[in-house]
Structure 1
Amino acid sequence: MNLADKVLAVNDDLPIRTHDPIHSGKVRSVYWLTESDSRRLIKERGYDVAADAPLAIMVISDRISAFDCIWHGEGGMNGVPGKGAALNAISNHWFKLFREKGLADSHILEIPHPLVWIVQKAEPVMIEAICRQYITGSMWRSYLKGEREFCGIQLPDDLQKDQKLPELLITPSTKGIMTGLPGIPEADDVNISRADIENNYQAFNFRSLGDIDRYEVLLKEGFDVISNALASIDQIFVDTKFEFGYVTDSHGQRKLIYMDEVGTPDSSRIWDGPSYRNGEVVENSKESFRQLLLNHFPDPDILLNKDRMDERKALAQHNALPESVLMEVSKTYVSIAERITGETLHLPENPKAEIIQILRDEYALID
């Protein structure tokens, strides 16, 4: 079997029983189970959820996205070997640690395969909950242009690139396009302040004003847990994105939980500690791939300028990256996953066939 066959590039064509359209994102695909299958699994597997909670199978692919485009490689390599398994392994590790520390649950109920989660439906909070411990990336680019206020927070004048910030900053943005909210542009991924959230908390799907405090506590606690664990392997947790939502447990209690993935190289920047102390930034995250793309193409403005999105999509579609590039990304993801979990990462030989067999034989979700 060649390398390209080990990559799970297409993940929305599995024969999982569903009555709903399959939702396919940049990396994950979601299969909502039938009501009868959801009820059966809740009963059979003893999940701590309401008896009528909708469940889904979430399948992660090895696709790689950057600058809002999906990228591919030579020789039919439509993804990065081991990337999906690495992301799931890292998220699973942090979610387990969160539970052990008494933080909050996640939407994951079971992990039948390294590329698969069984999840419960959550009502999402419409916020990309971003927090930053260092000034870099988009925040540094804006700072360099003279901006000193971010999401209602005032920054001092004397900061240097990649410097540690005086405190952990919460710099949220909108998740999706919010309409009809005073002072908030109707566009995706718009920076917002805490005051914006308080003034429109119901539109952002918070149940109460008090839950804004709760989400900030979970955000800071989650960041600290991951940051401290990474520090123990001499890695620096630079910034990250969390997502939150509401679920109901088997006792009818509504609770705020973590959603999506946490602390992964896709949703975070992770720097190598020894290199940083020597004055060099070495990324153990997707940021290294972004930088590689910026250096690879002669006109990096295409990747940075949102007004050139058509050109950018054409660039991604018509340019196969060298296999060596994708293997370098693979090495970054697999290596950091193994360092975080302390275990060798299991890379599926034939991921699609394995997933189908497990979901058919052990969960009776495939006819």
Structure 2
Amino acid sequence: MTPALTQTDFNFPGQLGVYKGKVREVYSLQDNLLVMIATDRLSAFDVIMPKGIPFKGQILNQIATRMMQQTSDIVPNWLLASPDPNVAVGFRCEPFKVEMVIRGYLAGHAAREYKAGKRSLCGVPLPEGLRENDRLPAPIITPATKAEQGDHDEDISREEIISRGIVSEADYKVLEEYTRALFQRGTELAAEKGLLLVDTKYEFGKTPDGKIVLIDEIHTPDSSRYFYEAGYEERQAQGEPQKQLSKEFVRQWLISHNFQGLEGQTLPEMPDDYIATVSERYIELYEQITGLTFERAETGDIHKRIEDNVLTFLQSFRAEH
């Protein structure tokens, strides 16, 4: 089986610390630099699966960096360079402790909440009579609090975010404005590829000089859900499931094996042949979302490849600055 990158342990020149998230590992360096490494770890229901998915980190990083480049004219972002298929380098920011989730359709978590009888999500009212995967009258922002390691993200309303002082009202207005602008651009980019951007999340941070910028991943199959536009209306009319591009297929596999991250449930082990199909699905996602042919990075010694590429970049960057 193709090797997967499930963890890293680098010590780059000028390294100040490292933060290990569910999927990404972020190295803090001198000169206000961050080196973000997208591993092949797979997280679902806020639980990390025991085995990695080959090429997943490369796919997420390459989609995210491409999408950041395609939106930098409307929203500033943290990205400086991508010196390796799994790596993004940028300037350090103080992250806001909320994820800006925006939904154009009633799908996933929102559909599950709606089915359970809720007609308000994060303080946003939802009309009666919606079916799963219906297009919403207008996109809605349904924020979530940023989970500390191991905890679940929680829905939260705009009013609560501001009243609890998690984000100031002035900053939150900017986050909302940027979120809507990015979702509109993402919707347009998806439409060019015959896709519907169903829902997604954005994360933002503030630079030392007070500028709000987009951070983390954007428009990837881990942070977003896409439907195929062809056949969408027919499938809705007939009450059929939508053909989609996201990691929802992994969640459905886990649900079918009696796991939703709830207390007392046992995490099922994914067999190698299923992991290989998940890897192929991620490659399909990459090609559909970007319109490019996926080029597999060298996996003989992934750690050495990353280290060499990052060191070369740092040497060049510091020579110039």
Shift of 1:353: 2.0
Is the counterpart of residue 289 in structure 1 residue 246 in structure 2?
no
Query: What RMSD in Å do the two structures reach over aligned CA positions?
Result: 2.1
Aligned to 2:166: 204
Structure 1 SS opposite 2:211? strand
Q: Distance in 2 between matches of 1:205 and 1:147?
A: 26
After TM superposition, the structure 1 = structure 2 runs for residues 1-367 of structure 1, keeping only pairs within 5 Å, are 3-5=1-3, 7-11=4-8, 13-17=9-13, 19-33=15-29, 35=30, 38=31, 54-72=32-50, 78-99=51-72, 102-176=73-147, 189-200=153-164, 203-206=165-168, 209-248=169-208, 253-279=209-235, 280-295=241-256, 297=257, 300=258, 302-305=259-262, 307-308=263-264, 311-312=265-266, 315-316=267-268, 319=269, 321-350=270-299, 351-364=302-315
70 and 189 in structure 1: CA distance in 2 versus 1, 3 angstrom threshold: closer
Structure 2 SS opposite 1:258? strand
Which AA in structure 1 matches 2:82? I
Q: Which segments of 5 or more consecutive residues in structure 1 lack a partner in the other structure?
A: 39-53, 73-77, 178-186
* Contact in 2 for aligned 1:64/1:71 (Cα 8 Å): yes
Shift of 1:304: 4.9
Which AA in structure 2 matches 1:17? P
Structure 1 SS opposite 2:182? helix
Q: Distance in 1 between matches of 2:172 and 2:205?
A: 12
Shift of 1:227: 0.9
Shift of 1:362: 4.2
| 1:292-336 CA-partner distances (Å, limit 9, x unpaired) | 2222x2xx2x4253x33xx43xx25xx2x2223222222222122
Which AA in structure 2 matches 1:274? A
Q: Distance in 2 between matches of 1:362 and 1:165?
A: 45
Which AA in structure 2 matches 1:16? F
Q: Distance in 1 between matches of 2:21 and 2:152?
A: 15
Shift of 1:223: 0.5
Q: Distance in 2 between matches of 1:107 and 1:254?
A: 13
Question: What TM-score do you get using the length of structure 2 for normalisation?
Answer: 0.88
| 1:6-63 CA-partner distances (Å, limit 9, x unpaired) | x21222x124235544221111111111x3xx2xxxxxxxxxxxxxxx2121111111
360 and 139 in structure 1: CA distance in 2 versus 1, 3 angstrom threshold: closer
Greater shift after overlay, 16-25 or 345-354? Answer: 16-25
Structure 1 SS opposite 2:230? helix
Which AA in structure 2 matches 1:156? P
Question: What TM-score do you get using the length of structure 1 for normalisation?
Answer: 0.78
363 and 153 in structure 1: CA distance in 2 versus 1, 3 angstrom threshold: closer
Q: Distance in 2 between matches of 1:69 and 1:190?
A: 15
Structure 2 SS opposite 1:363? helix
* Contact in 2 for aligned 1:19/1:32 (Cα 8 Å): yes
Q: Distance in 2 between matches of 1:360 and 1:232?
A: 37
Q: Distance in 1 between matches of 2:199 and 2:313?
A: 38
Aligned to 1:51: none
How many residue pairs get matched?
307
216 and 349 in structure 1: CA distance in 2 versus 1, 3 angstrom threshold: same
69 and 151 in structure 1: CA distance in 2 versus 1, 3 angstrom threshold: closer
* Contact in 2 for aligned 1:85/1:346 (Cα 8 Å): no
362 and 290 in structure 1: CA distance in 2 versus 1, 3 angstrom threshold: same
